[in-house]
A and B are shown apart, each in its own frame.
Chain A
Amino acid sequence: MALLECKQLTKRYGSVTALDSVDLTVEPGRIVGLLGPNGSGKSTLIKIANGLLVPTSGTLTIGGSKPGTETKRIVSYLPERTYLSTWMNVVQLLDFFCDFYPDFDRNTAEHMLTALDISPKLRIKQMSKGTREKVQLILVMSRKAKLFLLDEPIGGVDPATRDYIIRTIISNYNEEASVVISTHLIADVESVLDDVIFINKGRVVLQSSVDEIRSEKNCSVDELFREVFRYAV
């Protein structure tokens, strides 16, 4: 059974259509790139999957259920915003995640914090924007979730951290779990992707495996993206 499935999923904000009859599936054990230019509907789709938005029509299911308490238990979500309370320190955040998510692996989180040289005593208030994003990513990736929904996980960090994050994503995911990465920085993630979904103006324009793109179209995902989304000069 598909882990994530959208059927005719539509979301309108007044007269603006953010998602237009989207049909897509994400199978277990895949790393999927949700790729599209800014404002193409990537974040809207991910927000609906997390129950932060309600679709105008159509359905989105995770493991067969509509977004709700049950699906939130198995989904680990990294929003594009930093959601950490600034008065908390890292230890308090680890306590928080341990309390609310039984699948949270504290050891993994502590290990990653040490690797990125982040002191557990440090308050979020005292951290730079980049460090906050790292802490948030560590918290999200330290869960043994079934589905990881990562919205622009590498947007605001330096290339070295970007590499670490990508390696973290690959090493933390297991055979049953899927990872959906929304980004427009394709070259950076291309090497880890199994499948790609191209989305433009709220519509899915392509869903394919990376292998198919390479063998059938004889180009990289990055090249195909530039071709599909080329602006007329």
Chain B
Amino acid sequence: MLSKLLKHEYRATARIMLPVYVLVAGAALLFNLFMRLADRYNNVALEFFRVTSIMIFVVTLIGAGVVTLGLMVFRFYKNYMTDEGYLMFTLPATTDQLILSKLIVALSWTVLTVLAVVLGVFLGTLGLVDWSAIEPQLSLFFSEFAGIFPKSYLPLLAISLFVSAVNSFLLFYAAISLGHSFANRKILLSVAFYFAFSAGMRSVSSIVSIFSVVLSDNLFSENVTDAAVSSYMMGTQILSICLSLLFAIVFYIVTRLLLKKRLNLQ
């Protein structure tokens, strides 16, 4: 049943997301073209187009992120909280399958959008930036900080970003589900609960991070070593992953409970 839900959710979202990626590629090519033309010919009109293409490119890249987040949250709201919910909640699917299908699709489009933006920047700057000149600088930067950032730091950072994406979507789901369990002002309440949940999450994270700094007393000794800084960095990263996971689990349970017991379709 999950695979069927996923199939239809991909179908429903692809009709927006695929054109967005085509736009990113188009804006990148436009940017690349006008950068080259304006470099080659000194012309006021071309300079104008160059500036315009930079703006279009930047707006498209940011827009791709905004559309991805907006669409994924909107799908949950529209498909489950409005009249469409009458169909979705009477399918022979479990509440877990309904939540997971939206989450998995949202996460996969998020990863694809990140890739599309990276590829877009690569495509836009292709032939314009001399990477061979920058590469030694980058290696120097990494070798300089090799003691502080061990090799395992980057994968850990990737995991941390992924978990916080999971957490962000579930935060939206929980806030929307809670807001819509009330009889009136459902959207307003959803927004209020979103801010309340985020504030709660930030407060707990702040308290935990203050404790983590206080407890790592060797960080403030006079002869602080790279190893001490490194272990602190790794420690906080792992801590933030664990916290994010914990919040994600709480938001999932809240969403599940509300959809199961307090569903309140108009």
Contacts and interface: CB of A to CB of B under 8 A. Distances in A.
Interface of A: 13, 47, 50-54, 69-70, 72-73, 75, 77, 79, 81-85, 87, 92, 96, 99-101
A100 B8 CA distance: 10
A42 to B, nearest CB: 15
Contacts of B90: 50-52, 72, 75, 77
25 contacts: A13-B183, A51-B89, A52-B85, A52-B86, A52-B263, A72-B90, A72-B92, A72-B93, A73-B92, A79-B86, A81-B83, A81-B86, A81-B266, A82-B83, A83-B83, A83-B84, A83-B85, A83-B86, A83-B87, A85-B12, A85-B79, A85-B84, A87-B12, A100-B1, A100-B91
Interface of B: 1, 4, 7-8, 11-12, 15, 79, 83-87, 89-94, 183, 260-263, 265-266
A84 B85 CA distance: 10
Contacts of A51: 89-90
A56 B241 CA distance: 39
B261 to A, nearest CB: 5
Contacts of B79: 85
Nearest to B15: A87
B84 A100 contact: no
B265 to A, nearest CB: 6
B16 to A, nearest CB: 10
A99 B15 contact: no
A125 to B, nearest CB: 13
A67 to B, nearest CB: 9
A72 B12 contact: no
Q: By CB atoms of chain A within 10 A, which of B8, B12, B92, B261 has the most? A: B92
Nearest to A92: B11
A100 B4 contact: yes
Contacts of B86: 52, 77, 79, 81, 83
A99 B92 CA distance: 11
Nearest to A86: B84
Given A53-B263, A87-B15, A69 B93 contact: yes
A72 B263 contact: no
Contacts of A13: 183
B13 to A, nearest CB: 11
Contacts of A47: 265
A126 to B, nearest CB: 16
Contacts of B91: 72, 100
A26 to B, nearest CB: 18
A141 to B, nearest CB: 15
B8 to A, nearest CB: 6
A117 to B, nearest CB: 24
Contacts of B11: 92
What 8 pairs between A and B have smallest CB-CB spacing? A83-B86, A83-B87, A79-B86, A72-B92, A81-B83, A73-B92, A99-B4, A69-B92
A52 B89 contact: yes
A77 B183 CA distance: 23
A52 B92 contact: no
B134 to A, nearest CB: 45
A196 to B, nearest CB: 25
Contacts of B4: 99-100
Contacts of B83: 79, 81-83
Contacts of B261: 54
Nearest to B263: A52
Nearest to B265: A52
Contacts of A70: 92
Contacts of A79: 83, 86
Nearest to A53: B263
Contacts of B92: 69-70, 72-73, 100-101
B104 to A, nearest CB: 17
Contacts of A92: 11
Nearest to A68: B94
Contact of B87 (A84, A87, A99): A84
Contacts of B94: 69
A13 B181 CA distance: 12
